[in-house]
Chains A and B, each alone.
Chain A
Amino acid sequence: MNAMFRISGAGRLSQAKTASFTFDDKSYIGIEGDTLASALLANGVHLVGRSFKYHRPRGVLSAGAEEPNALVQIVRDDARKTPNVRATVQELYDGLTAHSQNRWPSLAFDVGAVNDVASPLFSAGFYYKTFMWPKSAWKNLYEPKIRAAAGLGVSPDQPDPDHYASRYAHCEVLVLGGGAAGIAAALAAAETGVRVILADEQAEFGGSLRFESGARIDDQDGYAWAQGAIAKLKAMDNVRVLSRTTAFGYYAQNFVGLVERVSDHLKNPGHDLARERLWQVRAGRVVIATGAIERHMVFANNDRPGVMLASAARTYLNHFGVAVGRNVGVYTANDSAYAAAIDLKKAGVNIAAIVDLRDNPAGPAIDEARALGIEINFGRAVVSAGGKLRVSSMTVQPKNGGGGRTIPVDAILMSAGWTPSVHLFSQSRGKVAFNDETKRFVPGTYAQDCVSVGACNGTDGLDATVDEAYAAGAKAAKEAGGKAGKGAKPKVDAGESWSRGMLGAAPGAGPGTTVKAFVDFQNDVTAKDIRQAVHEGMRSIEHVKRFTTNGMATDQGKTSNMHGLAIAADELGKPIPQVGLTTFRAPYTPVTFGSIVGHARGALFDPTRRTATHGWAASQGAVFEDVGHWKRAWYFPRAGEDMHAAVNRECVTVRKVGGLFDASTLGKIEVVGPDAAKFMELLYTNPWEKLETGRCRYGIMLREDGFIYDDGVVGRLAPDRFHVTTTTGGAPRVMNHMEDYLQTEFPHLNVWLTSITEQWAVIAVQGPKSRDIIAPLVEGIDMSDEAMPHMSVREGKICGVPTRLFRMSFTGERGFEVNVPADYGEAVWEALWAEGQKHGATAYGTETMHVLRAEKGYIIVGQDTDGTVTPNDAGLDWAVGKKKTDFVGIRGLTRPDLVAKGRKQLVGLKTKDPKVVLEEGAQIVTDPKQPIPMKMIGHVTSSYWSENCGRSIALALVAGGRDRMGETLYVPMPNGTIEVEITGMVFVDEKGERLNG
């Protein structure tokens, strides 16, 4: 069963293979190979959408990616509702469901169309003017209303169930565009043996050969030649042919982004297939063969459904076998529309009239049209299209004025000429040049190793295009290392050639008129709007663009930019190049978020790092917290415990008995070489030369400006070997900081740095029973206080596994950190846990670790310091080697403001009410009764409930803090002011006796 406008014998699709689909819930039949647009037109459906601002009825303008009007919503299921799909690009599949957009309650009757009548309110720049007063109305009325009314499609409201693939690829020659030019270039390059990638956005290759009935290459129809050439290219090992693939972005050093639509055209894609695949291609040479885009004529009501580009009508006829009307008018300013009229006439469609703006054009196309008996009107203009939901007539006048007549039509084909597609060339940072004779911008100065060929280069005629492209393909391949090719250049037997045309408003839509002659269909910008922008003071095309939004829709002005520019130039009385061309930016056509995101979602959004004991902790019911990329055990709740109860129990148990803590995430760097100690002297404030082998020291690292950068315990394993630890978050940047200084400032030192963070699992065993827990498992290490005092390190074995056993404490209790090779971490933990159970020890997490260290006044870099804290501010002057003459930050420490009085210093805080726990980050003032804004003299950096102290404790940075001991200060909070007393930073065991307890 043929649809009404399908012409038997025309087109290339097999009419036997039908596909049913629905549009706005009405069923239609198309055939395989159709686009949604061709299938709708075959069924006589021209009205497919409503415009953005005025809600005017809109039809299909084009047959390709430049389509501004025919945007629809494709619905596969509840989660797959893709808005703003160009019906001219969407391939038909059986069961396809599409809906029109931007209309309510229905496409034919749309309440929003009142905007069309009220259009004086919505003229150019209306956003900036109409809604300015009263001020409050913007937020409460105008913005919500505009937001509700704006936008075209409806965003999906569920997570995207599809998946997206990505791939990097390299080739010597990348050819963008698979028309005659692209294919010829790819053939020439491929024959040299180099790697070639050829990409085209269409389902099938051929470009303009899809509609150019007059093209013949190598004794075949042009389109058939293209298919043969593609088959040949596909069979070559060195060639990758990508259809349905849009080159959307051209970046530095010939890095080109392409998106391949893998399954949007399939009825049942299945989950194995990605929806899209992102290709990131690095090419030796790029051949740009992106063709040209036909421009519409700018006249009143040129947006009525049924008014379309001549080349589009020709594509629908010659490729899809669809007539876009039965009684068709043609309005043109160049030859190419004649070919459309001729093809349609030959297919049996009545051509009501050709209206040609030119006075006395001549040529074979005109002769042929005349010979077919088509009425031709020279020197005349279509000044208006009649009809509303579908064009019904065209009003024709002499172009210089005079009486007109109205001709009934059901479609108008128009052509104002062709605009070279310089988008990708421009994205490559190449500079376009204006050809005054042909009135078009063509590639001028190149910035990268690429070449434009064919229509996008302003080359007219099939013969010249194939010549140029074949030579360019061969040259690009040769420059990229290819051998001489043996193939033969395709022979063009016949081709079509058009150029010229006109830019700007046609007669009847020029200065002084207020008709709706659309320049930009998608953003509803008319010729009048462009002129108004100039009248209101816009001089640069960049300003005109932003004021009118011309070219700012999702089609990026593919059909409108040149018209808009010409109208502005005309109004300004300047030549076009002086007004300038707006910059082309990626993406060439809209790209889905999915294809950009690729695999990076869910578990692959970012690496999740787990320690060796993660499985054990999870099995014990640990609650984890994110620390950078790491998952760290936060606390280990037992049955019935909330976080507070669990942390209280863990804190008390560690000080009473002991606890196990996974410290594996701390950064670890092995510093090795004869100059290791010298290097450490330069990177840390502390002295290292005299640190004995087997001993440890707490080290502080500064930035050049004298502020604390990182800290950690460092053990000396040998005269030439240090085991350095860093904060968890600081691990990568400390490594980079050290490597940076080693390579740039101290390259004379014989020392090397190796990250060993992940080599060693680290189990902290802390508490009075810590030695009793570890000792039974250790071989070859004397753990007595005499042989292994606080701050020492020994190498030996635990559970038969090599260990670096540190005696150190971040709790203030006797403590050890057991380092074992990571794969053994969990087994050794389990052995230590079994020993710990005998004593009643607990496993504890990061929250308890934080509380216990705060009870001892041990700082956490990044929590109690913020990049503006010196060792002195933090009360760590003792860690700065007084006799040292050099280390990173030594000069920074002497800066006047770093030694000035009144700097913020780290102190302890006790709330007057011991039950009140301060909020971290809360501000501190001296007088809570002072007027707002109060003078803030500091803030709380750490604050916890301490079950061991039976009260809250806090650390704070307070101006002149150490001189304020015992002073009462205030923390104003929304629910009242909290009284606090300044104290020392140590809340438990001030003398440090428990380290050996």
Chain B
Amino acid sequence: MAKAAKTKAAEASVERRPALAGRTLSAPGVKVEMLAPAERISLRAPQASLAALSKALDVTLPAQPKSSAAKDGRTALWLGPDEWLIIDEAGNDPLADCAKVTALHSAVGISHRNVGISVAGPAAAVTVNSGCPQDLSLEAFPVGAASRTILGKSEIVLLRTAEDSFRVECWRSFSDYVFTLLSEAASDAAN
């Protein structure tokens, strides 16, 4: 079966100013930094549509709670029985890919709603655990695990990208709070 060709994201002509662009913080054992802009959609769909959507997105939508699937820079995070967050870091547009699908679904563009923050290093889990009550051991939250959860007083989506690396997604206007909290936590994490 031929692979569905992914649609390139459109390019804009005025300056894009992502929230907290370029902000980084290094502490012993952990680095916190803003991630580059990415294409994102919130995908809602019933079971019957998953095959068609998986094909169009060229990534198999995961069915297990707290899990994700990734392929060629595109990650699908399970957020609920009928809800996925699709993040594309390769410059392709998942919204356009879903537009071709006739099966029942809702795809809404949220590329600018969310920002991504990387927390990486041996003390990354401890840093996130300063505000997130989840069990982040590798047994309970392995590489690829994903969860909509909280960090302090903000909602986040947490994705473990490697044993010592997390992607924290939050809404744009909460990014200052989330980044600052992660920064303070990072400074205590290696102690």
Contacts and interface: CB of A to CB of B under 8 A. Distances in A.
Interface of A: 163, 165-170, 195, 262, 272-274, 277, 280, 282, 599-600, 603-604, 606-612, 629-630, 670, 672-674, 750-752, 754-760, 799-802, 821-824, 826-828, 831
A272 B27 CA distance: 11
Contacts of A163: 184
A170 B140 CA distance: 10
Contact of B111 (A599, A604, A752, A821): A821
A815 B96 CA distance: 31
Contacts of A165: 130, 184-185, 188, 191
Interface stretch (B10-18, B55-63, B65-73): B10-18
Interface residues of B, number: 50
A600 B19 contact: no
Interface in B34-68: 37, 42, 44, 46
A827 B135 contact: no
Contacts of A823: 16-19, 37, 112
A774 to B, nearest CB: 15
Contacts of B101: none
Which 6 A-B pairs give the minimum distances between C-beta atoms? A800-B13, A609-B173, A752-B44, A607-B177, A672-B106, A752-B106
A754 B108 contact: yes
A607 B174 contact: yes
A169 B134 CA distance: 8
Given A599-B181, A757-B113, 15 more contacts: A167-B130, A167-B188, A599-B131, A599-B185, A606-B153, A609-B174, A670-B106, A672-B108, A755-B113, A757-B171, A758-B173, A800-B13, A823-B16, A827-B16, A828-B14
Contacts of B132: 168
A262 B188 CA distance: 11
A254 to B, nearest CB: 13
Contacts, number: 142
Contacts of B172: 612, 758, 822
B112 A759 contact: yes
B154 interface: yes
A282 B135 contact: yes
A262 to B, nearest CB: 7
B188 A274 contact: yes
B11 to A, nearest CB: 8
A274 B181 contact: no
Most A CB atoms within 10 A — which of B107, B113, B126? Answer: B113
Contact of A604 (B15, B137, B180): B180
B153 A607 contact: yes
A672 B171 CA distance: 21
Nearest to A170: B135
Contacts of A756: 108, 110, 113
15 contacts: A165-B130, A168-B130, A282-B133, A604-B177, A606-B153, A607-B177, A608-B177, A611-B173, A612-B17, A629-B173, A672-B107, A757-B113, A758-B112, A759-B110, A826-B17
A801 B112 contact: no
A824 B174 CA distance: 18
Contacts of A600: 152-153
A610 B176 CA distance: 9
B97 to A, nearest CB: 16
Contacts of A282: 133, 135
A823 B36 CA distance: 12
Contacts of B173: 607, 609-611, 629-630, 758
Nearest to A777: B14
A272 B187 contact: yes
Contact of A824 (B12, B82, B140): B12
A900 B131 CA distance: 52
Contacts of B134: 168
Contact of B184 (A599, A799, A827): A599
A743 to B, nearest CB: 11
A604 B104 contact: no
B129 interface: yes
A827 B176 contact: no
A282 B136 CA distance: 12
Nearest to A761: B112
A777 B1 CA distance: 44
Given A609-B173, A831-B14, A673 B106 contact: yes
B23 to A, nearest CB: 14
B191 to A, nearest CB: 7
Given A670-B108, A755-B113, A801 B191 contact: no
Contact of A822 (B104, B106, B112): B112
A800 B12 contact: yes
Nearest to B140: A170
Nearest to A779: B13
A755 B18 CA distance: 19
B180 A799 contact: no
A65 B133 CA distance: 29
B109 interface: yes
A166 B106 contact: no
A240 to B, nearest CB: 11
A967 B104 CA distance: 58
A274 B109 CA distance: 42
B123 to A, nearest CB: 11
Interface string B147-188: 000001110000000000000000111101100110011011
Given A272-B187, A670-B108, A758-B113, A799 B133 contact: no
B21 to A, nearest CB: 9
B137 A195 contact: yes
A34 B135 CA distance: 38
Contact of B10 (A273, A802, A822): A802
Contact of B129 (A167, A800, A826, A827): A167
A751 B44 CA distance: 9
A170 B134 CA distance: 8
B104 to A, nearest CB: 6
Given A170-B135, A282-B133, A607 B17 contact: no
Nearest to B82: A752
Interface string B91-132: 000000000000010111111111000000000001001111
Contacts of B154: 607
Nearest to A607: B177
Contact of B152 (A169, A604, A750, A758): A604
Contacts of A824: 12, 14-17, 112
A604 B184 contact: yes
Contacts of A610: 173, 176
A802 B12 CA distance: 8
Contacts of A827: 14-17
A718 to B, nearest CB: 11
A167 B180 contact: no
Contacts of B176: 603, 607-608, 610
A169 B184 CA distance: 18
A277 B113 contact: no
A612 B14 CA distance: 14
Contact of B12 (A168, A611, A670, A801): A801
A599 B130 contact: yes
